[in-house]
């Protein structure tokens, strides 16, 4: 595969997933520990999953 130029710029959509509280920016979604910041886990009934790498976390509650 040829190397692709990647712009590591989050889209505007992503900002909807953050809450700004005072000087802190808090994410309202879990981020994927594998993909890092900017990749959010999709919420399911009993689990969170990453659409990018497929990483899944089951809620233990």
Binding-site ranges for Zn ion (CB under 5 A): 32, 34-35, 50, 52-53, 55
Q: Quick one: 18 or 38, whose CB is closer to Zn ion?
A: 38
Alpha-carbon distances of 4 from 7, 26, 44, rounded to whole Å: 10, 31, 32
Q: Quick one: 23 or 28, whose CB is closer to Zn ion?
A: 28
Q: Quick one: 34 or 44, whose CB is closer to Zn ion?
A: 34
State the minimum distance, in angstroms, from the CB of residue 21 to Zn ion. 25
Q: What is the C-alpha to C-alpha distance for residues 41 and 43, in angstroms, rounded to an integer? A: 6
């Amino acid at each position: 595969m040829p190397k692709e130029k990647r712009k590591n710029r989050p889209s505007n959509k992503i900002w909807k997933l953050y809450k700004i509280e005072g000087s802190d920016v808090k994410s309202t979604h879990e981020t994927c520990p594998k993909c890092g910041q900017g990749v959010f886990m999709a919420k399911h009934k009993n689990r969170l999953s990453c659409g990018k790498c497929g990483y899944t976390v089951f809620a233990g509650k």
